[in-house]
Amino acid sequence: MSYFSYLECSKCGKKYSIDEPHNLCECGGPLLVRYDLEKIKKNVDKNVFKTREKGLFRFRELLPIEDEKNIVTLGEGDTPVLKAKDLGERIGLKNLYIKDEGLNPTGTFKARGAAVGLSKAKELGIKTIAMPTAGNAGGAWSAYAAKAGIELVVAMPQDAPDLAKKEAFIYGSKTYLVKGLISDAGKIIAKGVKKYGWFDAATLKEPYRIEGKKTMGLEIAEYFNWEFPDAILYPTGGGVGIIGIWKAFQELKELGWIKDKVPKLIAVQSEGCNPIVKAFNENTEASEFCTNANTIAGGIRVPKALGDFIVLDAIRKSKGTAVEVKDSEIVESLDLLAKTEGLFICPEGATLVAAVNKLFKTGFLKSDEKVVLLNTGSGLKYPNLVEEKLPVIEIDADI
C-alpha cells in the first residue's frame, strides 16, 4: 500500500525509522517523509488514482499509512478546482482557477493534515496528542481525534474564531484558551508535552500533516492532466501547505510523472504579519519573529514559522515571490469573490484575490498564464466578517 521508507531531517539529512513516533531531529530540524520513489515508478501507473474511491487516501502509495485499517477519514480531499471566469476577466487573467478547500470536513484544508496525522498516530499506537493552533487546525484535529478515539489536548489564542472553539469543545478535546498568540500557545503545549509525555503535533514538529497537505499538490497536478499550472498563490502562516505542495511537485518530478518546470509558488501574507514577505525581500534564509502581529486573517497570524527556511527555499527555487496585502483589501476581496464567483471564503483565502491583482498589475503574472488560488477555507467559519443589513417586513407586506 504505502511506499514509505524513512524520515529524513530537512536540515542535517539524518534518517529516522518509520516504526516509532518522532518529532523534530536532534538538530532541531523538521523531519520529512521519504518514499521509495524508484519502486513506485516501476509499480504504479499515475492514472490509477482516478479510478479509486474519491478522497485523499486514493494517493495511498505516496502517503505514510501502512495498513488500510488505520485510516481515519471523514471524506476529506478532492476539493473542486473552479474556473473563476468573471473574476479573471476583471483582473485581466484568462485562466484563473480557485481550488476551494472550504469543502473539506470542518470547512478548511486543515482536515487533510489531520486525516493523515491522526491515521498515522493510530498506526503508531499514540494515545494522547497535544497541539497549539490558531484555531482551525484545532477544530480539524479534534474531529479526527474523536473519530480515531485518540485523546487530544489543544491550546489556542483566546481570540481564535468562535467556531474553532466550538468545534474543539463539541468534539470533546481538552481545550485551553490562551491570552496570547499561537506562539504563546506553543510554549504552553511544549511544557505539557515534557511533563506528561503527550505526542507533540505542533506544526512541523509532527512529520505527517505535511503529507496530508501534499495531496493538494497531487490533486492540482492531476486536475491539469499531469501538467503544472504556471503559478499557485497560497496564504502563508505556518507554511505547511506551501511546503506540502512543493514536496508533492518534487516527488512528481522524481517519479518522472511530470517534466514541466514547477509552478511559481507565491506566498501571500497580511501587512500586519509579514515575516516571510520581509525575509524574501531582504533575501535572508529564514524569517525574523514578527512583533505585534495583527490581522483579521487569524490563520496567517504566525509571527515566526518553524519551517520558514523551507518555505523561502520553495518560493525562490520555483521562481515565485511573496506578497503582502492590507486587511481592508481582504474585506473588499471577500465581497468581490462572493458577488462574482458565488464563493464565500475565509479571510486567509481572500488575501489571494488582492495579491493576484497586484501581481498582474506589476507584470509578474501574464494574462494567459494558468494561475491557481488556493483558498484554504470556508467563510462559514468567519460569520463576524459579514455584517448583514436586511429589511425586516410584516407577514402581510408587499415587496
Q: Considering only residues 48-67, where is the footprint of a copy of itself by CB under 8 A? A: 50-51, 54-55
Number of residues that bind a copy of itself (CB under 8 A): 78
Burial class (CB in 10 A: 0-12, 13-18, 19+), 362: exposed
Considering the complex, what minimum distance in angstroms separates the CB of residue 288 from a copy of itself? 20
Q: Which is nearer to a copy of itself, 83 or 361 (CB)?
A: 83
Grid coordinates belonging to 28:
532541531
Q: Is 189 helix (H, G, I), strand (E, B) or coil?
A: helix
What character string, x for contact with a copy of itself (CB under 8 A) and - otherwise, covers 174-213?
-xxxxxx---x--xx--xx--x------------------
Nearest to 58 by CA among 112, 103, 121, 114: 112
Residue 42 as a binder of a copy of itself (CB under 8 A): the answer is no
Measure the CA–CA gap between 105 and 122, rounded to whole angstroms. 19
Q: Which is nearer to a copy of itself, 54 or 261 (CB)?
A: 54
- Give the footprint of a copy of itself on residues 129-168 (CB under 8 A): 142-149, 153, 155, 158, 162-163, 165-168
Q: How many CA atoms lie within 13 A of 4 on its CB side?
A: 20
| Selected range binding a copy of itself among 79-87, 204-212, 231-239, 251-259, rule: CB under 8 A | 79-87
Residue 69 as a binder of a copy of itself (CB under 8 A): the answer is no
| Binding-site member from 127, 261, 317, 339 for a copy of itself (CB under 8 A) | 339
| Region for 184 from its dihedrals, namely left if φ exceeds 0, alpha if ψ lies in -120 to 50, beta otherwise | alpha
Kindly list the distances between the CA atom of residue 377 and the CA atoms of 74, 190, 245, 249, 250, in Å, as whole numbers in the listed order: 16, 27, 17, 22, 25
Q: Which is nearer to a copy of itself, 182 or 305 (CB)?
A: 182
Q: Is 193 helix (H, G, I), strand (E, B) or coil?
A: helix
Residue 73 as a binder of a copy of itself (CB under 8 A): the answer is yes
Residue 393 as a binder of a copy of itself (CB under 8 A): the answer is yes
Considering the complex, what minimum distance in angstroms separates the CB of residue 335 from a copy of itself? 7
